[in-house]
Amino acid sequence: MAYTGKTRPHATRADRRAPAAPRRKIRVSPAALEGQAATFVAAGLTEQRYEAAARASRASSEARTAALEERRAERRAQRREAAGRQLEAAGPAGWIRACLRVTGVPGHWYGGLWTIAQRESGFDPRAFNGWDANAVAGEPSRGLFQTTWPTFRAHHQAGTAWDINDPVANCAAAVNYIKSQYGDISRVQQADSGSAPRGY
Residue 82 reports pLDDT greater than 60: yes
> Residue 169: inside a domain, yes or no?
yes
Q: Which domain covers residue 181, as residue numbers?
A: 30-191
The mean pLDDT value of the chain amounts to 83
Residue 159 reports pLDDT greater than 50: yes
> Residue 70: inside a domain, yes or no?
yes
Q: What is the per-residue pLDDT for 3?
A: 47
> Residue 11: inside a domain, yes or no?
no
Per residue in 114-154, pLDDT tens?
999 999 999 999 999 988 888 888 999 999 999 999 999 99
> Residue 88: inside a domain, yes or no?
yes
DSSP reduced 3-state for 142: strand
> Residue 167: inside a domain, yes or no?
yes
> Is the distance from CB of 144 to CB of 124 less than 8 angstroms?
yes
> Residue 165: inside a domain, yes or no?
yes
> Residue 18: inside a domain, yes or no?
no
CB burial string 139-174: b at 16+ within 10 A, e below: ebbbbbbbbbeebbeebbbeebeeebbbbbbbbbbb
CATH of the domain at 112: 1.10.530
- The model's pTM is 0.58
> Residue 2: inside a domain, yes or no?
no
Residue 166's Cα: distance from chain center in Å? Answer: 22
Q: What is the per-residue pLDDT for 143?
A: 96
Strand partners, 142: 128, 147
187 C-beta neighbours (distance < 10 Å), count:
13
Which of 89, 81, 82, 99 lies closest to 167, judged by CA? 99
* Tally of domains in the chain: 1
Q: Which residues contact 125 (CB under 8 A, 6 or more apart)?
A: 95, 143, 144, 165, 166, 167, 170
Q: What is the per-residue pLDDT for 193?
A: 93
Give the Cα separation of 171 and 177 in Å (integer): 10
For Cα atoms 155, 161, 164, give the angle at the middle one, nearest 5 degrees: 65
